[in-house]
Structure formats: structure tokens, C-alpha cells
Amino acid sequence: MNELFAAGVELMLVGMGIVFLFLALLVATVNLMAFVIQRYAPDPPPTETDQPPSSPRQDEIIAAITAAVHRYRADKQPFSEHLGS
């Protein structure tokens, strides 16, 4: 029984070691790929077309959406909240 237990522990440690080495290799590979991609293909600088267009009516639109959400939520309250209990 003692030999079987020792063999089980040895197999467990070898398996855990192999998994640890594989995961460490995977992390190193992903970091290396990120470094290479960043070095040879950097992100392009943002241009004026990347920014959302601004509208003078944006505040009015936000106010209308806020009022609509408030009205919707007020209409959907449970009956017990209307009674004040």
C-alpha cells in the first residue's frame, strides 16, 4: 500500500510539473507575440474621423431619453409602491 501511495504522489507531482511548465511556456509565448506585434505593427494614431461627431442638439437628445426612461420606470412600478406601503 505504501509503494502504491508513493507512486501516486510521484505521478501527481510529475503531472502538476508538466502542466505548470506548459502554462509558463504559454504565458511566455503570448507575451512574446504581444511584444512582436506591438513593435512591428503599432496601433495607428487616432484621426479626426475616429471621434464621434458632436451635435448641438446632443443635450436635448440626452434630456429626452432621460425623461422617457424616467416615465417608463414610473409606469412599471409595482402596485404596492403606488399605495405607499
Reading the block at residue 48, the C-alpha cell is 479626426
Asked if the structure places residue 51 within a domain, the reply is no
Residue 22 resides in a domain: yes
Place 55 in a pLDDT band, splitting at 50, 70 and 90. Answer: low
**CA nearest to 43, candidates 34, 52, 31:** 34
Q: How many domains does the chain have?
A: 1
Three-state secondary structure call for residue 50: helix
Cell (9 digits) for 22 = 506548459
**Three cell numbers written together for 64:** 429626452
Mean pLDDT of 31-55: 78
Examine the pLDDT at 45 and tell me if it is beyond 80.
no
pLDDT 10s digits, 56-70: 678 888 889 999 999
Residue range of the domain that includes 71: 2-43+56-83
What pLDDT, on a 0 to 100 scale, did the predictor assign at position 48? 67
Residue 50 lies inside a defined structural domain of this protein: no
Within a domain: residue 28?
A: yes
Asked if the structure places residue 64 within a domain, the reply is yes
